[in-house]
């Protein structure tokens, strides 16, 4: 067997905020695609099936477990949105300086949390 260099892997790379937010971006996107799609299809199906089916959906969606799912989905949406905007800026060629990249990697999930809190404050306090 040839003596070729091994590719670096997760045990060799030094973890940084940019790696963590990139993985978080993928995880929130998958969560939105799987869980968000399932909730949306269930909601639309209940809406089309009549008042009894919709009442069942509302009862489960407003239960404690339903609140966890709804708040989690909204957090995933806002976090994915902020991270996607960060990636968009990187795609146009800006923000690659290490300090700038690390700063925006830390700020983007925090803004996602703030947007989630603001969204639910508006929904619950109206």
80, 25 contact by CB (below 8 A): yes
pLDDT value, residue 16? 87
The answer to whether residue 5 is domain-embedded is no
DSSP annotation of 4: P
Q: Known binding site for heme: residues?
A: 80
The answer to whether residue 36 is domain-embedded is yes
Helices (H), 32-63: 37-49, 51-61
Q: Known binding site: residues?
A: 80
The answer to whether residue 12 is domain-embedded is no
Q: Residue 89 sits in which domain range?
A: 18-125
73, 31 contact by CB (below 8 A): yes
The answer to whether residue 13 is domain-embedded is no
pLDDT value, residue 62? 95
When divided into structural domains, the chain yields a total of: 1
CATH of the domain at 50: 1.20.1300.10
Cα separation, 112 vs 38, in Å, equals 22
Query: What does the pLDDT profile of the chain (126 residues) look like in tens digits?
Result: 567 666 666 667 778 898 899 999 999 999 999 999 999 999 999 999 999 999 999 999 999 999 999 999 999 999 999 999 999 999 999 988 989 999 999 999 999 999 999 999 999 999
pLDDT value, residue 122? 97
The answer to whether residue 41 is domain-embedded is yes
Neighbours of 5 (CB within 10 A): 5
The answer to whether residue 7 is domain-embedded is no
pLDDT value, residue 105? 95
Cα separation, 16 vs 106, in Å, equals 10
The answer to whether residue 1 is domain-embedded is no
pLDDT value, residue 14? 77
121, 33 contact by CB (below 8 A): no
The answer to whether residue 89 is domain-embedded is yes
> Residue 3 has which token pair?
């003596």
39, 69 contact by CB (below 8 A): yes
């Amino acid at each position: 067997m040839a003596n070729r260099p091994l590719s670096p892997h997760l045990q060799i790379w030094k973890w940084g905020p940019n790696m963590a937010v990139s993985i978080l971006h993928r995880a929130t996107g998958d969560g939105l695609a799987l869980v968000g799609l399932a909730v949306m299809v269930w909601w639309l199906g209940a809406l089309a099936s009549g008042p009894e089916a919709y009442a069942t959906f509302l009862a489960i969606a407003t239960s404690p477990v339903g609140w966890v799912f709804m708040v989690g989905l909204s957090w995933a949406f806002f976090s994915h949105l902020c991270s996607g905007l960060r990636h968009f800026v990187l795609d146009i060629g800006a923000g690659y300086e290490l300090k700038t990249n690390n700063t925006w990697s830390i700020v983007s999930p925090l803004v996602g949390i703030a947007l989630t809190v603001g969204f639910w404050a508006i929904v619950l306090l109206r």
